[in-house]
Structure 1
Amino acid sequence: MDMPLPLTRDLVLIGGGHAHALVLRMWAMKPVAGTRVTLINPGPTAPYSGMLPGHIAGHYAREALDIDLVKLARFAGARLILGAATRVDPVARTVTVAGRGEIGYDVASLDIGIHTEMPDLPGFTEHALGAKPLDTYTSRWRDFLAAATAGAVAPEVAVIGAGVAGVELALAMAHALRRDVGAAAKIALIEAGPEIAGRNPETTARLRAALAGYGVDVYTDAAVSEVMADGVTLSGGKTVPSVFTIGTAGAIAHAWVAESPLPVTDDGFVRVDSHLRVEGHWDLFAVGDCAHMTHAPRPKAGVYAVRSGPVLLDNLRAVLTGGKTRAYTPQKDYLKLVSLGEKSALAEKWGRTVSGPLLWRWKNRID
């Protein structure tokens, strides 16, 4: 009688990020014989961050953002371990999982994302939160919006950081507050640099117009010195009223990555080569926001994680089967779609900018 193939190799995917979700989906269609796949993630779902502004604005239900990792793992024939990774030892080839001990691997990949907490800013930990992790933000926002609508708290919001994420979330929260609370809502967008997001003047102008349309107060060249329960103090001494403050300024690597014996940048991101391999380790890969592509540094953006997925899959297959890996060359420019609060969006690429409701429909379809 036919005997089943033995499970001779262990492939461990650490984190349920966008690239790993794609790998699992494609793996299900063409698995590698003799390989056991394990996915490690803190929860049974992983949020798709591109739809976060739409949820905050009220266009999507919270569950619409979630990738069902249980269903995806089952489809791919993978086991799912629910727990947070706390250490990777590339020499011992082990992953330490909180409450579960060590998980061994033959080949592994990291796709754990980032967070936007600002622990070094006085008062941030006590009185604010990062937009990532997404679950905490969405839960706290739901409670705040309900309380503000009921008149239990002042409808005052501040966003620290006016990159694309900060602008999108400021507009999304402004849309929801104007709808549910009215003109009493106060929204502030605070940027330490000289200007808000935008790779060209037209984009910046359109984003500023959208912010002005919602009555968002924009502060530039405004470093934050302290966050308090009822406001944000700027370095010049001015206090911006806020009882719901979020941080979007910069991408922060998870501390445990730098605490593991891994090659990392000064700010804690895993250094990978052109084949997405962790430097010095042929059997360990890293993708998405947690990785720093030494051959082609790029800003943190979900598009790179998504585009790297097929290359990662090919390279995992190659290492598992003795094949040849291939390089990933990230695009230098990409289509940037920015939500504008209401069901309207802005698109920017190749130095050109357009906006309107049709762009929202396009973004919605892509998401």
Structure 2
Amino acid sequence: MQAPEQPILRDIVLVGGGHSHVGVLKSFGMQPVPGVRLTVICTDMHTPYSGMLPGYVAGHYDYDEVHIDLSRLAVFAGARLYRDEVIGLDRVNRKVLCRNRPPVPYDVLSINIGSTPQLHGVPGALENAIAVKPITRFNERWLALLERVQRHPGTTTVAVVGAGAGGVELLLAMQWRLRHALRALGRNPDELVFHLFSSDANILPTHNLGVRRRFDAVLAERQVRVHRNAAVTQVTPGRLQTAAGEVIDTDEIVWVTRAGGAAWLRDTGLALDADGFIQVTDTLQTVTDPAVFAAGDIASMVNHPLEKAGVFAVRQGPPLAANLRLSVQGGTLKPYHPQRSWLALISTGDRYAVASRGWLGFAGAWVWRWKDWIDRRFMAKFQDLTPMDTHGTRAQPTSAGVAGTVQLTPEESLQAISAIAMRCGGCGAKVGATVLSRALSQLHPVQREDVIIGLSDPDDAAVVRVPAGKAMVHSVDFFRSFIDDPYLFGKVAANHALGDIWAMGAQAQSATAIATVPSGLESKVEDVLFQMMTGALEVLNEANCALVGGHTGEGKELALGFAINGLIDDDPAQILRKNGMCPGDVLILTKPIGTGTLFAAHARLSAKGRWIDAALQSMVVSNQKGAQCLREFGATACTDLTGFGLLGHLVEMTRPSGVDAELDLGALPLLDGAQECVAAGIVSSLQSANVRLRRALRNQEAMVNHPRYPLIFDPQTAGGLLASVPADKAQACIAALRELGYSHTVAIGRVLPQGEALEPISLCA
């Protein structure tokens, strides 16, 4: 990723990817604050726009039309995106506590996580109903219901609990889509039965009488059974009961009511209202802690009680962004004054909508077209992202500009000046001993008896014992960070470095790290180093590989590598090498390919967030169990896929083995989005060097236009294992590898006797 020229002086952390925070990201992307870094912590890579969700359910929009891609937006904003669940705050030390990663320090924090359905208040609701939030979980359940209705004839009953605008609009959208699906199959749409439960005497109780009457008429026309003054008091499998004693059997229960604040907020010490929402002042700062802001549904303005409506979250984006800037610059924050009334455009499932504002109400197909235009215009702000210049970088400020932008303490000012000034080379480029010791003191490498001198008793060098009958296996890997999450980068770097050890059938023994960290305030350098090495150490410890030492220096970009020592039986016959391929063997690949093109696209804002997320999930999968499995099934040769790409590594195997190989392009397992990216002409910077190996292809001209052809040159990071396995064991081996979690494992070709042609590889489709 593009590294900033200026040191990081302040961290603004955004918890949640709601409507207010996407506005903050866009604002900082358009006008960054020198020395200020944004970090977004969110459970999902795509955030839905609530205004278009009913249209998506009704089938008027596809997934990408109604979701903002947080990954692309974060790259545009120069922000770090951490995919994790927040479980608490340490406000004393100013850290966000996450479920699966180290705490994340902040100078200023903003929370925009929306509301949380309070299903626990009704016995059985949590286990037997699906809440509309979080949207990702609801979407999975909704798609499952859609498929179930289409596949299984018979009556399906759906109950929606909550008769506000959100519940009514969602029910009508679901009904419209399901009835349309049944008609397309030639079935009777009356197989569907819908119930709507309102704890009030009226539906849409916050809207005027005219709007309520319009929707009463729509619901009656569409034969929705409306239950009024019918608070749901109990839910059991396939059944719900109301306070009036009414019992309804149902196949699906959707919960769109009784929302409150997330449970973890209760332990933060922040002032909350009766429903668990964070109380904030007019500046959107919490009444408890001026360093913590909140916006959207999770915020409860003490001076302006607001309905939980998406319009306020959107409108709070600009003032929130302005006040976050001012808070790190030491300026006077500005109050946000919400509007007293707002326009609500509520759809009826079909392409028809009702407008409601105060006493005003009108409806029509034209209202839906108007709503569609407004919604698409809003989404375009976050989908049509253009880098700041043709290189995707931002103009960098001078040292004087940095020092004068962010409010610093005298000690921090000295550190900032030192970080900006001309830095020493040689040993002067080392990270300071105090920073290094503080970061490393929090790490706990696995202890091994064969490590005589390591990090627990540091000396000039580490000393490890080689057991009798064992030989040493040495490997080294090092590369710059390609993602903005140091913890995840540490995991990938360690996993990548271990790949060569596993591929040769060895066991990892010890690792020595070499890291480069951008200069900056000591606290920022320390945290980046700690986050990165925590991720790496989790991988090394799981592999029973002891971290025994290393070197950390300053540099422009974050980078990490490891020299790995492994142990293997002192018998050349036990070493799994590249040169043992035999004619008749089947070529097996354990992971999908495409990391090179995907991350090149990511840097250009051309990759979908879910593609990048899936690629990273693949990259952190260890090859250790896969290598053991391949040995058990008699693999004759093996290597791990890295920078030379699939073709480069296959050539490395065929030539010393004295064989040829046939590669089936149609069988190649691909990461989601990889084929789309190469089709768009997006390739890694290493691709051109790898393409020179096309001279090893016997029928290159015949296959050059195949859509997967470019991917055989795509460089991989932490890729899978490429192995040759005897044909009679190949299918059983593939099944065993899939059982171990390598779900994309497939046969991608076969080993042939060496022919007279100079080119060892032929392609087929």
- With normalisation by structure 1, the TM-score equals 0.96
**Structure 1 residue 168 and structure 2 residue 175: aligned?**
no
Distance 2:370 2:118 in 1: 31
Contact 2:86 2:97 in 1 (8 A): yes
Q: Tell which deviates more after alignment, 353-362 or 118-127.
A: 118-127
Counterpart contact for 1:90–1:262, Cα < 8 Å: no
1:358 aligns with 2:366: yes
Q: Hey, what's the Cα distance between the residues in 2 that align with 1:111 and 1:313?
A: 12
Give the match for residue 339 of structure 2.
331
Inter-partner Cα distance in structure 1 for 2:354 and 2:163? 16
Q: Cα distance 1:266–1:89, how it changes in 2: closer, same or farther (>3 A)? A: farther
Offset at 1:152? 5.6
Structure 2 counterpart of 1:322: 330
Matching of residue 285 in structure 1 with residue 293 in structure 2: yes
Q: Which residue of 2 aligns with 1:211?
A: 219
**Which of 245, 252, 260 is the equivalent residue of 2:268?**
260
Aligned: 1:66 with 2:67: yes
- What corresponds to 2:8 in structure 1? 7
On the 8 A contact 1:89/1:262 being kept in 2, the answer is: no
User: Which string of whole-angstrom CA distances, capped at 9 and with x for unpartnered residues, describes residues 84-134 of structure 1?
Assistant: 111123232110111112111111111111122412212212221111111
Contact 2:56 2:63 in 1 (8 A): yes
Aligned partner (choices 189, 193, 199) of residue 196 of structure 2 = 189
Look up the match of 2:690.
none
Q: How far off its partner does 1:300 sit?
A: 0.6
SS in 2 for 1:342: coil
Aligned-partner residue type, residue 19 of structure 1: S
SS in 2 for 1:119: helix
**8 Å contact 2:270–2:288 — kept in the other structure?**
no
AA in 1 matched with 2:193: K
**Residue 353 (structure 2) aligns with:** 345
**Aligned equivalent of 1:25:** 26
Deviations 1:337-365 (A, max 9, x none): 10101011110113111111111111112
- Residue 324 (structure 1) shift: 1.3
Given the alignment of the two structures, is residue 114 of structure 1 paired with residue 115 of structure 2, yes or no?
A: yes
Bigger RCO (CA 8 Å, 6+ sep): 1
Q: 1:101 aligns to what SS in structure 2?
A: coil
Instruction: Single out whichever of 273-282 and 60-69 deviates more from structure 2.
Output: 60-69
Q: Is the 8 A contact 1:110 1:287 kept in 2?
A: yes
CA contact (8 A) 2:199 2:231 kept: yes
- Over the aligned positions, Cα root-mean-square deviation in angstroms equals 1.5
Of 298, 305, 308, 1:300 maps to 308
- Provide the C-alpha distance between the structure 2 equivalents of 1:154 and 1:69, rounded to a whole number of angstroms: 39
How far is 1:314 from its partner? 0.8
Report if the CA contact (8 A) 1:288-1:305 is conserved. yes
More helix per residue: 1 or 2? Answer: 2
Cα 1:216/1:356, change in 2 over 3 Å: same
What is the rounded CA distance, in whole Å, between the counterparts of 2:12 and 2:233 in structure 1? 45
Q: C-alpha separation between the residues in 2 aligned to 1:244 and 1:61?
A: 23
> Structure 1 vs Structure 2: percent identity of aligned residues?
38
Tell me, yes or no, if the aligned pair for 1:117 and 1:129 is still in contact at 8 Å.
no
**SS across alignment from 1:174:** helix
Asked if 1:311 is matched to 2:312, the reply is no
Aligned letter for 2:256? T
Amino acid at match of 1:219: H
Among 248, 258, 274, the residue aligned to 2:256: 248
1:169 alignment partner AA: L
Q: 2:228 aligned with 1:225, yes or no?
A: no
SS in 1 for 2:103: strand
Following superposition, which runs of at least 4 residues in structure 1 exceed 6 angstroms of deviation?
none
- Alignment check: 8 A CA contact 1:155 1:177 kept: no
Q: Who wins on radius of gyration, i.e. which is larger? A: 2
Deviation at 1:58, TM superposition (A): 1.4
Q: Are 1:80 and 2:92 counterparts?
A: no
Contact 1:20 1:111 in 2 (8 A): yes
The CA deviation at 1:243 is 0.7
Q: Deviations over 1:295-353 (max 9, x none)?
A: 11101111111101110111011111111110011111100110101011110113111
1:147-162 equivalences under 5 Å are 147-151=148-152, 154-162=155-163
Equivalent residue for 2:209?
Answer: 201
Amino acid at match of 1:98: R
Residues 76 and 292 from structure 1, CA distance in 2 versus in 1: closer, same or farther, beyond 3 angstroms? Answer: same
Q: Which amino acid aligns with 1:361?
A: R
* SS of residue in 2 equivalent to 1:54: helix
Specify the code of the residue in structure 2 equivalent to 1:87.
G
Output the amino acid matched with 2:289.
H
TM-score by length of 2: 0.47
Once residues 77 and 300 of structure 2 are traced to their aligned partners in structure 1, the CA distance between those partners, rounded to angstroms, is 28
Taking a change above 3 Å as real, the CA distance of residues 38 and 175 of structure 1, as seen in their structure-2 partners, is same
Instruction: Supply the distance in 1 between the matched residues of 2:90 and 2:66 (Cα, whole angstroms).
Output: 32
- Change over 3 Å in CA distance of 1:80–1:242 after alignment to 2: same
Q: Which region of structure 1 is more displaced relative to structure 2, 178-187 or 269-278? A: 178-187
Aligned equivalents of 1:154, 1:262: Cα separation in 2: 48
Specify the alignment match of 1:47 in structure 2: 48
Question: Structure 1 stretch 89-98 or stretch 32-41: which is displaced more?
Answer: 89-98
Deviations 1:210-253 (A, max 9, x none): 11121111110112122232232222332223111011113221
Distance in 1 (alpha carbons) for counterparts of 2:60 and 2:116 = 24
Q: 3-state SS of the aligned residue for 2:362? A: strand
8 Å CA contact 1:175–1:214 kept in 2: the answer is no
Paired residues of 1:85 and 1:97 also in contact (CA < 8 A): yes
State the SS of the aligned residue for 1:31: coil
Tell me what 2:280 maps to.
Answer: 272
